[in-house]
Each structure stands twice: as C-alpha cells, then as structure tokens.
Chain A
Amino acid sequence: MILSNTEEVPGQTIQAFFGVVSGSTVRAKHVGRDLMASLKNLFGGELKGYTELLHEAREEALERMVKQAESLGANAVVNIRFSTSSVAQGAAELFAYGTAVKVGR
C-alpha cells in the first residue's frame, strides 16, 4: 500500500478512485504515564511517554485506514490528512483520512 499526502503518487498516474477512507482511535492516558509526565512538567522538555502514546495511536488510525482501502481493492491512499481532537478530559481522538485510489505507471 502506497501512502502519500500529495494529490497523486509521484511518478505514477491514478487509474481509479474508491472514495474517502478513514481510520480513528480514541485513547486515554494511563495514570502511571500521567504521573511521570507531571513530574517531567516541572523541568520541561520532551514528555516521552506521551510521544510514544500518540505515536502508537496514530499508527493504529493509519492501519485502520489502510485496511479499509485494501478491502476496496485500492493500492494507494493519497492526500492523507491527520486530525486530533480532545474528546474528554485526558482522552484524545486521532483521526487519519485520505482518498483510496488505484495507481500505476
């Protein structure tokens, strides 16, 4: 599966469109991580626990999007966008969406 946030896959042409595909996941932080982060908050700098958490969540959202594209028979997703919204206190939704297409040279 070719993923791209450009309108088309560089060097290839789009042969068919399958519409918008998306994937999302809602994650909450766990207490241990939050405790560590609030300690780190005293001194500033990178909050590694949160970086990892968001990384995992974004990967999962992407994976779900890819699965949906695969089930449609696409071999690429173009024009991918991400969005993050905080659903409730301490929980965030990570959302990835794009256009499923079939490309070839």
Chain B
Amino acid sequence: MDPALINVFVAGVLLLVAFAVGAWIERRHYASIRQREEELRRLPAVSIGALPVPNGWDHDVSGLVSGHVVVSVDHFKRFVAGLRQLFGGRIQAYESLMDRGRREAVLRVKEEAARRGYHAIVNLRLESSRLASARRDGKGTAGVEVLAFGTGIKLRRRAAS
C-alpha cells in the first residue's frame, strides 16, 4: 500500500478515536458539573465586595479561598478549530472548553469554602491564562488554566445584649 495513504488512514483513525473519547469525557464532566452545582446552590458566590448582613448577625471569620483547573480540548476539536480559523467565526469547541473550565473552577472555590465552613463567597474573581506547551517549537496548547478566587465569609448570631 502507498505509505501516504497509510498516513492519511492513521490520522483519520486518530481523529475518530479522539472524537469518541473526547466527547465521552466531556459528557461525563458536564454531568459531574451539573450535579455539584445543584449540591452547592446553598452557598452563594457573588462578585461584589460585600453582602448585607442579616439583622441579628455579625461577621465571624473570613479568609481567602481559591479553586482552579487546567483543561484542554481533544485532538478532534483542535483539528476542527484549526479548520475554523481559515474562515473565521465562532469556535464552539473552545467556547465549551472555557465554559467547562470556569464552571469547574467556581465549583472548586465553593467546595473549599464549604469545607472551611464559610457561608458565602464575596468578591469572586475569575482569571484565565494559556499554558504553553514545553515543546521547543512552541506549537500546540498544553491547556488553559482558569482560576477563581474570592473571600469566604462566615456569620455568627449576635450575642443578646
């Protein structure tokens, strides 16, 4: 068989495998995100600097909380995005990547706050940065890091005076 043909065949199989496994991983991730978001609904996270304290309550302790994740797209999506870059326009593959990363990071910051007994998170900030691959030619993206951080606050009932 023609070696060029074999190369094309191998590349095609790789794309197919990446598509199937990548889609499965993404579905599983989204299922986990939705479930944990439901569980953590009771813990509000806001981007404003302070929340009004209910009557009869005081601030107790507070502290910095953060959560982050490094995510990447699969080989198939990277290929499709590469094609998309020829014509421009919306790259859905990367939109869902950023969405997954942000929601995961927010979930992790909420999980840390819950673990430390905070009732809410104020001043939530989101940052993301691209991690370059260590390859010498600088090709390929190793992933995107999304960081979520804020201040966890805990309230306590004011002592009756």
- A residues in contact (CB < 8 Å) with B: 2-7, 9-12, 28-29, 31, 34, 37-38, 40-48, 50-51, 54-55, 58, 62, 80, 82, 84, 86, 89-90, 92
The 0/1 profile, CB within 8 Å of A marked 1, for residues 119-152 of chain B is: 0001101010101111110101011010101110
Given contacts A6-B49, A6-B123, whether A47 and B149 have CB atoms under 8 Å apart is: no
Beyond A11-B60, A12-B59, 7 additional pairs, beta carbon < 8 A: A5-B150, A34-B133, A34-B142, A43-B75, A44-B74, A90-B133, A90-B134
Given contacts A44-B72, A44-B74, whether A4 and B143 have CB atoms under 8 Å apart is: no
Whether B111 sits at the interface, judged by CB under 8 Å, is: no
Cβ B143 vs Cβ A50 within 8 A:
yes
B75 vs chain A, min Cβ distance (A): 5
A66 vs chain B, min Cβ distance (A): 10
Q: Which of A40, A80, A89 contacts B138 (CB 8 A)?
A: A89
For chain B, which range describes its interface: under 10, 10 to 19, 20 to 34, or 35 or more residues?
Answer: 35 or more
- Which B-chain residue is minimally distant from A45 (CB atoms)? B25
Assembly CA distance A25 to B21 (angstroms): 36
Cβ B68 vs Cβ A51 within 8 A:
yes
Cβ B22 vs Cβ A84 within 8 A:
no
- Which A-chain residue is minimally distant from B76 (CB atoms)? A44
Q: Which residues does chain B contribute within 8 Å of A44, judged by CB atoms?
A: 18, 22, 25-26, 71-75, 77, 97
- Which A-chain residue is minimally distant from B51 (CB atoms)? A10
Q: Which residues does chain B contribute within 8 Å of A31, judged by CB atoms?
A: 134
B96 vs chain A, min Cβ distance (A): 10
Q: Which of A3, A28, A43, A92 contacts B63 (CB 8 A)?
A: A3
Cβ B147 vs Cβ A82 within 8 A:
yes
Q: Which of B22, B64, B131 contacts A43 (CB 8 A)?
A: B22
- Which A-chain residue is minimally distant from B48 (CB atoms)? A6
29 A-B residue contacts at CB 8 Å?
Answer: A2-B63, A3-B64, A4-B63, A5-B64, A6-B50, A10-B62, A10-B153, A11-B58, A11-B59, A11-B60, A11-B62, A31-B134, A34-B134, A40-B72, A43-B22, A43-B25, A43-B74, A44-B72, A44-B75, A45-B22, A46-B71, A47-B72, A50-B142, A54-B145, A55-B68, A82-B149, A84-B129, A86-B131, A89-B135
Cβ B138 vs Cβ A41 within 8 A:
no
Cβ A50 vs Cβ B153 within 8 A:
no
Assembly CA distance A48 to B142 (angstroms): 12
Q: Which residues does chain B contribute within 8 Å of A54, judged by CB atoms?
A: 68, 70, 145
